[in-house]
Amino acid sequence: MNTILSASELLLHLKQHPIFSELTEEEVTTYFSGDRSEIKAFPPKKIAYSSSAERVRVGILLSGRARVETDAQALVKSLRVGELFGIANLYAEDEPFPTSIVTTAEAKILFLDGAAVKRLIEEVPSVRRAYLTFQSGRIVYLNQKIATLTAGNAERRLAVFLLDYEQDGVFIPPCPMNRLAELLGIGRASLYRAIDALCDEGLIEKQGKTIYLRNKDALLRLI
């Protein structure tokens, strides 16, 4: 089911994200009226969007759960409600990195026409500043993540992964533990020792395969 929103309804959703927080209703009407924005509902295990789509779009997860996967179905990241996707590919001169947005539960996604988003960024100074700030923050975070995953110990590497892929404080492994160890660049025994260490410190709690993040602030300080 697709839903076309009024400018005031769309503005309420857009203002939840930093890039669009200073938009006015007039600007929303100018750039996103008609078929340049819509909300789509998806069942679980459905490809909601692919970077190979002919029509470039930017999306915001409004409800439910979804994840970013490569074409080989490898997990890139889990999306949280309110998170944006597709924004980095707007100015990709080469082929965009081949990824898909796959729902893991019933979900609603707000789609914005990619060309309209580019016009907005280029023509509205407040949005352009917010976009550059947002992208700069992502670059800094990715650099920190790379440094941690290449030079950090097992506990730090695990903490980065848990914080990236948790949903409401809950982490359910998206793959077998031996595969998770490979993704982190550590041995399986080291992974289990890291889990035990974080449990002993009270940062996480493991129940079966599920890991509960009990102290996110401490995990952030760890990395």
User: Is residue 137 located within the same domain as residue 160?
Assistant: no
Cα distance between residue 161 and residue 193, in whole Å: 15
User: Is residue 138 located within the same domain as residue 92?
Assistant: yes
pTM over 0.75: no
CATH number of the domain that 168 lies in? 1.10.10.10
Number of H helices and number of E strands within the chain? Answer: 8, 12
Mean pLDDT of 21-31: 93
Mean pLDDT of 139-145: 72
User: Is residue 156 located within the same domain as residue 134?
Assistant: no
Mean pLDDT of 46-70: 87
User: Is residue 215 located within the same domain as residue 138?
Assistant: no
User: Is residue 121 located within the same domain as residue 182?
Assistant: no
Question: In the prediction, which pLDDT does 156 show?
Answer: 87
Residues 16-29, buried b or exposed e (16+ Cβ, 10 A)? ebebbeebeeebbe
Instruction: Give pLDDT tens digits for 106-130.
Output: 999 999 999 999 999 999 999 999 9
The tokens of 9 are what?
A: 């309804």
- For residue 3, the one-letter residue type is T
- The region of weakest confidence among 64-68, 78-82, 138-142 is 138-142
Average pLDDT over the chain, rounded to an integer: 86
Domain for residue 147, yes or no? no
Q: Name the domain boundary from 82, 117, 142.
A: 142
Indicate the DSSP class of residue 109.
Answer: E
Q: Name the domain boundary from 105, 120, 142.
A: 142
Residue 38 is part of which domain span? 2-142
DSSP 159-182: HHHHHHH-BTTEE--SS-HHHHHH
Question: In the prediction, which pLDDT does 73 show?
Answer: 64
Count of residues for the chain? 223
User: Between these two residues, 151 and 113, which has the higher pLDDT value?
Assistant: 113
User: Is residue 94 located within the same domain as residue 188?
Assistant: no
Residue 220 has pLDDT above 80, yes or no: yes
Instruction: Give pLDDT tens digits for 156-190.
Output: 889 888 888 788 888 888 778 888 888 788 889 99
> Is residue 142 very low, low, confident or very high in pLDDT (cuts 50, 70, 90)?
confident
Question: In the prediction, which pLDDT does 201 show?
Answer: 93
CB atoms within 10 A of CB 211: 22
Residue 163: phi, psi to the nearest 5?
A: -70, -30
Question: In the prediction, which pLDDT does 37 show?
Answer: 93
Alpha-helix residue ranges (DSSP H) falling in the chain:
7-14, 25-32, 114-123, 125-151, 154-165, 177-184, 188-200, 216-222
Residues 147-160, buried b or exposed e (16+ Cβ, 10 A)? ebbeebebbbbbbb
> Is residue 2 very low, low, confident or very high in pLDDT (cuts 50, 70, 90)?
low
Q: Name the domain boundary from 102, 123, 142.
A: 142
Mean pLDDT of 44-65: 88
Q: How many domains does the chain have?
A: 2
